[in-house]
Structure 1
Amino acid sequence: MRVLALWLLATWCAECVWGGFTLADYPVVVLFLGPLYGGAAVLIREVVRRRGGGWPSMVLLAAVFGLVQAGLVDQSLFDRAALEGTEFAAQGEVAAATLVPGLEFNAGQLFEFVGNHVWLSICAPIAVVEACARPGVRHGPWLSTRTITVTSVLFVAAVLVNWSDSGHVLSPAQVLFVVVTAAALVTAALWWRASPPRQGPLSGPGPLVLGGVVLAAHLGSWFYGTGWLALGLRVVTLAVVVAVVVRWSRSAADVLAVWGAGLVVAAAGAFLSPPYAAAAPWLMLVSDVFGALFVVSLLVLAFCRSGGRGPDARLLSRPAPGASS
């Protein structure tokens, strides 16, 4: 049940929570994109937890998925025409704002595409489902060898289906950039080890404050605009948020608040964002209202199941002494 919940939630968070598809589209989304997003979330979590890794490894592998998905699978990172025929076609017109010469991709889109996959497609669903799980199994393996094999086959099949539909041909330099960067991130993820949870009474501002900081950072970035200055501000904001989270996260509730803030922002943004394909106004409104209510209810349930501020693994931890792959 935990695996199925993660599979379905990751798919919904990746494409629906922010308004990309309406409720009427979700069955098709689950059928065609479930093995891609759900499979990735399930497999990434399983690899990290089986190796005894923590959230740094989870984030790094999620970034690998986001980079490969946007760079090699649907190739939206390099193909300016990828969104033509959708309600987001205008985004391709501003791709030159932070264009990287030679590789011909928009650095701002790289930050956005990979960041959204890290936050919405992988980490937030994992945080929610783990918070709802019993403490005894929360951070342990969930899959059998057979289930890992089946999930991997379905994931690869989904990758091939989505790749074959892209139609864009990458240059050798673009492929090399994605492969080398992904390999470096995988190496870092496998090297990192989670340090033991801190003992003793918990201190810090608590989940509401941490969630509020992350929420404010998300909302503030909406007003940065485009261009290199805006990208620089986003990077600085991210660095500050990471520093705050590393310093003050102490419990499962803190973890949930940090990742859950992104879901709240995405659900709120859905009211301002059209779906990929034009839909009836009433259907968009119903879908957005459902998404907002679902996110709030889900986070409340997860917080109650998480055990509040009971001792748990920190959101981000330093590599343990002597850690190796």
Structure 2
Amino acid sequence: MRRVLPAVCLFFLSPIVGEMLLGATSIDAIGLIPMMALLYGGGTLLIREVVRRTRRGWCSILLLGAAYALLEEGLLDQMIFNGHYSGNYDMVHVTYVPFLGTGVFGLLSVLAVHGVWSVTVPIALMEGMVPDRADEPWLGRAGLAVTAALFGLGIVIVGGGTYSDTHFMAPWPELAGTAAAIVLLVVAVFRIRRPGPGRADRNAPRPLVAGAASLVLTSAFMIVLQANWWGVGAALAVAVVALALGLYWSRARGWGRPHVFALAAGATLTYVWDGFGQTPDEGSGGAINLAGHVLLAVASAVFLYVAAKRVRKRSGAERLGSGTA
């Protein structure tokens, strides 16, 4: 059990970050987390295991996270095609593009929310908690089979349950296009080069600088992303800057796990403050929701503090061992 404990924790951490820390699920609906974990946690854990087993990097995780976003919101609950999916928002008809069959605002929202926060951030956080095992697989064949089965069960529950509730089915061209996009993203994962150590003639910034930049840029993304073309354009610009800066820094000398964890920590803190202003889709609002989010904010701070100490300790030991050698 101790060997697979990080995998079990990641299984539940993904929906906790993706739903509860975001503010979409209130604390009194925490009983839904095990069911949400079937899809969220199962998908995230499978993505992490595939990437680590094939020795690929964070770009691969982001691409597979985007594929997961399209699977959940495009093929299963079909939120990006159903304007009546929620009474709180309509992601289809604002910034609508006929060729896509949906709005750019909704598409950009789900790609960011799931690709970054539901998948990539939880993986980086959990690997920060166990830095000595961050680069190795956490599951054996039996664990992979169980995870795949749970993920498949999540697909059935979300897809079948949503259709039973909404009786909505998107037109086949939209579904076929979404499926094709998912396949292309998966293919791209295995076409990009495996990451290597930074060799550029420059030094990586301090992890604190990387974390601060992550907090500023992810916060800016959340603030400027509005349901209009100006907001979408501004959010896309912020996303491009963030990706370009991350690629630029990752190729510098000295870039390592402390920097990756710092990026995830900054993005986590953005969810902490942004969640206070969200109206939950599941559970109660008002004082109960506020108290629950305060509790989550405190728990997040403790988690980040403990993981940061472990990452720093592991990094120091690796530098000492390298210097001794």
TM tier relative to shorter chain: 0.7 to 0.9
Residue 140 of structure 1 deviates from its aligned partner by 0.9
Residue 262 of structure 1: aligned partner:
267
Where do 1:200-279 residues align within 5 Å?
203-221=203-221, 222-249=223-250, 250-277=255-282, 279=284
CA separation in 2, counterparts of 1:200 and 1:240? 19
Show structure 1 runs of 5+ residues with no match: 313-325
Residue 296 of structure 1 deviates from its aligned partner by 1.3
2:194 maps to a residue whose letter is: A
Give per-residue Cα distances to partners, 1:7-60, cap 9 Å, x unaligned. Answer: 111120111001111222112222x11111111111000001101111111111
CA separation in 1, counterparts of 2:131 and 2:283? 42
TM-score normalised over the length of structure 2:
0.88
2:113 maps to a residue whose letter is: N
Residue 27 of structure 1: aligned partner:
31
Within the candidate set 67, 70, 80, 1:67 is matched to 70
Determine helix, strand or coil for the equivalent of 1:16: helix
Number of residue pairs matched by the alignment: 304
Residues 80 and 92 in structure 2, CA contact (< 8 A), matched pair in contact too: no
Where do 1:1-325 residues align within 5 Å?
1-30=5-34, 32-84=35-87, 88=88, 91-92=89-90, 95-135=92-132, 137-167=133-163, 168-198=168-198, 203-221=203-221, 222-249=223-250, 250-277=255-282, 279=284, 281-307=286-312, 310=315
TM-score normalised over the length of structure 1:
0.88
Residue 318 of structure 1: aligned partner:
none
CA separation in 2, counterparts of 1:200 and 1:105? 41
Residue 260 of structure 1 deviates from its aligned partner by 2.0
Determine helix, strand or coil for the equivalent of 1:234: helix
- Give the number of the structure whose residues are more often helix, by fraction: 2
Residue 70 of structure 1 deviates from its aligned partner by 0.5
Give per-residue Cα distances to partners, 1:241-280, cap 9 Å, x unaligned. Answer: 1111122241211101112222111111111112114625
* Structure-2 change in CA distance of 1:20 and 1:226 (3 Å): closer
2:284 maps to a residue whose letter is: A
1:180 maps to a residue whose letter is: A
CA RMSD of superposed structures (Å): 2.2
Runs of 4+ that moved beyond 3 A: 198-202, 308-312
Counting aligned pairs with the same residue, the percent is 24
Residues 83 and 93 in structure 2, CA contact (< 8 A), matched pair in contact too: no
